[in-house]
Chain A
Amino acid sequence: MAVAQENARPEGRSSSPFWTIARRDSLAGFLFIAPQLIGIVVFVLIPLGLVFWYSLHEWNVLANTFTYTGAQNYRMLMEDENLLEVLGATAIFSAGLVIFNLSLALLLAVLLNQKLAGIAVFRTLFFSPVVVSLVAWTIVWGFLLQKNGGINGMLLTFGIEGPNWLREETTAMISVIVVQVFKNVGLNMILFLAALQGVPKELYEAARIDGAPAFKQFRRITLPLISPTILLTSIITIVGSLQVFAQIAVLTQGGPGLSTTVLVYYLYQQAFQFHFFGYGSTLSILLFAIVAILTFAQWQMRKRIVFYES
């Protein structure tokens, strides 16, 4: 090819032989992704390497010592009695959050998918907490959930004496889950609504002609067809639940006891309150491993639960 072109090439050709169309495009491609790629290397991959490196060290910030101790931090991890409680709280929090969030989001999406006048107003209102500042939202709920706060006040007008929500183990966990769900369920609701609207109307018409009752239509048509969205939102929601920090810090500070100390909050305490950077890094590795395993597992489940790929 090159030889034939050399022979046939008249003078004054505008493109040099090295910078072919494909080569110029490759260069453009690299330039376009360069900022992102460099950013990922500097702000994600190098820190990830460092966090692993730190996790192999005993690091006392106050005494300014940094000593290689090998797997000692990991042994500490195995022997950390608090950690079991922390992981338990994390699991309860994430599971509760995902189940409550996804079912409420689906319920709201199905309601909003009905042809009713003024449905857009409801959609806007259900979505509105998403745009309310997270800490502001959490502060109001903290205020509402005080022993003498708004919620117990309401309950008392009906003669019910409410608990001290944020100071009792069970209700504290329920509270942080509920506050977080109402804050963000609007996002999943919108994604589900878009998915529901993408289900062809003809399928429901066909099912009605076949005599399938409404709940059966939902189970046999709607759910399978929106299963990709369910999977996607569940991945996003689970990974998001592992990052929840502000709500815990503002509402319960991890208490009472360790009952709402989720892994991120424990990590923050160890590293930035107690200055155990080495052990904090070990906890980071643990957090990373959990996120990676969960994402991988859900990706694998894709084959089994997703009936339909758009």
Chain B
Amino acid sequence: MADVTLSDIRKSYGAVKTIHGVDLDIKNGEFVVLVGPSGCGKSTLLRMIAGLETITGGTLNIGDRVVNDLDPKDRDIAMVFQSYALYPHMTVATNMGFSLEHRGASKAEITERVNWAAGILGLGNLLDRYPRQLSGGQRQRVAMGRAIVRNPQVFLFDEPLSNLDAKLRVVMRGEIKALHQKLKTTTIYVTHDQVEAMTMADRIVVLNGGRVEQIGAPLDLYDRPANQFVAGFIGSPSMNFIEGKITEAGFQTSGVVLPLPKSINTAMGQAAVYGIRPEHFRLSDHPGHAGVPAEIVLIEPMGPETQVTMKLGGNQVTGVFRERINSAPGEVMHVSPEVGSIHLFSEDGDTRLN
């Protein structure tokens, strides 16, 4: 187990820069998730940590060693790939023991380690099978088994759940998390799925265009996103953004005025972006009382909650309500934003204003 430290890590292919100086301190035993849209550089960053991509600039430490120029095998890491990358011509046991074999472990030692890992992952009765004879979830477990057998300092996961169906994904999410709690090995996990990031991470790193947008605990990112990108990326359905102007009366936008939070560090009359999560709209029981009129566009009942697409003045937004909505599209209801949960961003979206 070890700390992983990235200092000003850069990557370019010729003149094309893809990673623009990433700094990140990962503490021993931490579960860090790199998340971002496709093409944000998260996989490249992970592969640079693994040693599968060269590092163009900066320093990468694993433990107290600089590993920039080391082969993957010398970095003491293990990786779980998106496609699992199980060797099709080897049994589960051989797959799992393969790395030990190439580190000069004795046969007895390999058997012992493989059996230990198989025990943890419930693979005991599958050891003689070939990968093609396994289900998706079983392959996933074998891939993890292959990673844990040699007790590396760092686990790297590259979108390991993206090939599974939705149900199995939830199950395996839990298993990976449980495994981490048992082994307490430093883990770096890449995903494009913010739900995975929220549920699994100790800390989330949000990447966009090869830059770090924000680093923080899942709920910190949810509660106080540093900019419009993070605000839009974390949370599902995603946050509504309304463009307008900050005035004494409130947030002035086309057709309506929305309530503003108390502490705002910007001048009156400033153009800004008003962010509100769908779950932070409240139904106003008394029309004309406190709410804003919202014309219903679409109602999608989910069971526990109801998702409503509606128009606040000229702005189409989404709201999620615990209540059941008995109105029809075209009708007008009244909603009010929770003032304490409002996010204000600068016009360009780069900075948070409250």
Contact = CB atoms under 8 A, between A and B. Distances in A.
Assess A/B contact in the complex (Cβ within 8 A): yes
Contacts of B68: 5
Nearest to B74: A14
Contacts of A8: 59, 66
Interface in A1-20: 1, 4-5, 8-10, 13-15, 17, 20
Instruction: Specify the main secondary structure of chain B where it touches its partner.
Output: loop
B54 interface: yes
Contacts of B69: 5, 13, 15, 17, 20-21
B65 A1 contact: no
Given A10-B64, A10-B65, A21-B51, A4 B58 contact: yes
A75 to B, nearest CB: 52
Contacts of B55: 1
B50 to A, nearest CB: 12
**Interface of chain A, main secondary structure:** loop
Interface string B20-58: 000000000000000000000000000000010011111
Contact of A20 (B54, B57, B58, B64): B54
A238 B219 CA distance: 69
Nearest to B65: A10
Interface residues on B, range: 10 to 19
A289 B58 CA distance: 55
Interface string A236-256: 000000000000000000000
Contacts of A33: none
A22 interface: yes
A1 B55 CA distance: 9
Interface in B213-241: none
Nearest to A15: B69
B54 A21 contact: yes
Contacts, number: 33
B170 interface: no
A17 to B, nearest CB: 7
B328 interface: no
Interface in B52-92: 54-59, 64-66, 68-71, 74
B56 A1 contact: yes
Nearest to A22: B54
B200 to A, nearest CB: 31
Contacts of B70: 13-15
Nearest to B57: A1
B66 A9 contact: yes
A20 B69 CA distance: 6
A20 B56 CA distance: 12
Contacts of B65: 10
Interface in B131-147: none
A21 B72 CA distance: 10
A218 to B, nearest CB: 35
A13 B65 CA distance: 9
Contacts of B64: 10
Contact of B71 (A4, A5, A17, A21): A21
A28 to B, nearest CB: 13
Contacts of B54: 20-22
Contacts of A5: 59, 66, 68-69
A22 B58 CA distance: 18
Contacts of A21: 51, 54, 69, 71
A4 B21 CA distance: 14
Given A1-B57, A20-B54, A15 B71 contact: yes
A197 to B, nearest CB: 21
A1 to B, nearest CB: 5
Interface in B227-257: none
Interface string A7-48: 011100111010011100000000000000000000000000
B66 A10 contact: yes
A4 B60 CA distance: 11
A92 to B, nearest CB: 50
A10 B51 CA distance: 18
A1 B71 CA distance: 17
B264 to A, nearest CB: 42
A20 B70 CA distance: 8
Contacts of A15: 69-71, 74
Contacts of B57: 1, 4
| Residue in A8, A10, A22 whose Cβ sees the most chain B Cβ within 10 Å | A8
A13 B64 CA distance: 12
Q: Which 10 pairs across A and B sit closest by C-beta, in order of nearness?
A: A8-B66, A1-B57, A8-B59, A15-B69, A14-B74, A5-B68, A9-B66, A20-B69, A4-B59, A15-B70
Interface of A: 1, 4-5, 8-10, 13-15, 17, 20-22
12 contacts: A1-B55, A1-B56, A5-B66, A5-B69, A8-B66, A9-B66, A10-B64, A10-B65, A10-B66, A13-B69, A14-B70, A17-B69
Given A8-B59, A14-B74, 9 more contacts: A1-B56, A4-B59, A5-B66, A13-B66, A14-B70, A20-B54, A21-B51, A21-B69, A21-B71
